[in-house]
């Protein structure tokens, strides 16, 4: 799925955009699921800026069938398997994001601070995160951005900033941010030790994203059973519940998602 050049680029820079991974037949259904869940109507601006989903665009939807169809799409799995050089993986039960064009009358839609999703002073091991652009996403359309220069010099950065009170949120100049556009169906993968965020949507178009992350499968039976329980019962992951994102349903509406054989392995129902 990936060339040696792409794999080496990822190792060096910590980020990779892989085009043409998810077909439009799948991305369009995720977009429809987001619109249905939020009640947003693209031709009615009055529905775009709801306080229930305001902020930096997070929509707390994890278990719609359309999301699972992307997670268990073979090409998505293959990219992560290539990067990990390992076939036995588990997929995250992550959520989606919707960003309308920035409105001059609302301050709710902001750029989330640059951050890590882990503590880089404590985290060890290889871990890769990802997102799928559900529609064509330009650099001014709320695109993913990060700071490869920090990642590439991480030991020095961590040493200098070890005593910073808000060290999980690095402060950088706007010029240090690298922005990654992508066509619909592109998969953006980045190292967990990469500080990242996404920009405000300064375009006239909407931005839709699904977050998809895979990790090496572990042998902890308690964790495997928890994953199966969450899938069976449409339960958000514990970390998502703890974040108390507005609009989160517990459990989420809808029936249990159907899994392929690959999907059953990615959840942990079937052993690799």
Rounded Cα distance between 256 and 79, Å, is 26
The verdict on residue 272 lying in a domain is: no
Q: Is position 51 within any domain? A: yes
Question: What are the phi and psi torsion angles at 155 (to 5°)?
Answer: -55, -45
In a domain, 157, yes or no: yes
**Residue 89 within a domain:** yes
> pLDDT tens digits for 117-172?
999 999 988 999 999 999 999 999 999 999 999 999 999 999 999 988 888 888 88
Residue 235 located in a structural domain:
yes
63-78 pLDDT tens trace: 999 999 999 999 999 9
Domains of the chain: total:
1
What's 204's domain CATH number?
2.60.120.620
Structural domain of residue 165, as residue ranges? Answer: 4-267
Q: Is residue 190 part of a domain?
A: yes
Where is 223: in which H helix or E strand?
helix 221-232
Residue 54: inside a domain: yes
Are the beta carbons of 117 and 129 closer than 8 angstroms? yes
Question: Is residue 74 classed as helix, strand or coil in its secondary structure?
Answer: helix
Look up the pTM and report it.
Answer: 0.94
Answer whether residue 128 is part of any domain: yes
């Amino acid at each position: 799925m990936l060339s040696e050049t792409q794999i080496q680029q990822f190792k060096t820079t910590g980020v990779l955009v892989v085009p043409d991974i998810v077909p439009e037949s799948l991305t369009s259904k995720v977009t429809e699921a987001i619109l249905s869940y939020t009640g947003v109507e693209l031709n009615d601006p009055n529905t775009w800026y709801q306080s229930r989903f305001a902020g930096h665009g997070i929509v707390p939807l994890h278990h719609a069938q359309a999301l699972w169809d992307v997670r268990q799409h073979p090409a998505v799995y293959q990219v992560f398997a290539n990067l990990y050089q390992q076939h036995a993986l588990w997929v995250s039960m992550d959520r989606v994001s919707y960003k309308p064009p920035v409105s001059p009358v609302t301050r709710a839609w902001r750029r989330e601070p640059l951050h890590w999703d882990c503590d880089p002073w404590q985290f060890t091991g290889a871990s890769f995160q990802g997102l799928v652009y559900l529609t064509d996403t330009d650099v001014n359309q709320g695109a993913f951005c990060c700071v490869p220069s920090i990642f590439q010099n991480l030991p020095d950065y961590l040493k200098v900033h070890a005593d910073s009170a808000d060290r999980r949120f690095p402060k950088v100049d706007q010029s240090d941010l690298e922005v990654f556009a992508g066509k619909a169906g592109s998969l953006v993968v980045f190292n967990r030790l990469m500080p990242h965020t996404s920009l405000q949507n300064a375009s006239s178009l909407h931005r839709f994203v699904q977050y998809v992350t895979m990790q090496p499968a572990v042998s902890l039976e308690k964790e495997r059973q928890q994953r199966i329980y969450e899938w069976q019962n449409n339960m958000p992951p514990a970390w998502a519940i703890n974040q108390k994102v507005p609009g989160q349903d517990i459990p989420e509406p809808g029936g249990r998602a159907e899994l392929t054989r690959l999907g059953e392995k990615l959840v942990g129902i079937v052993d690799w």
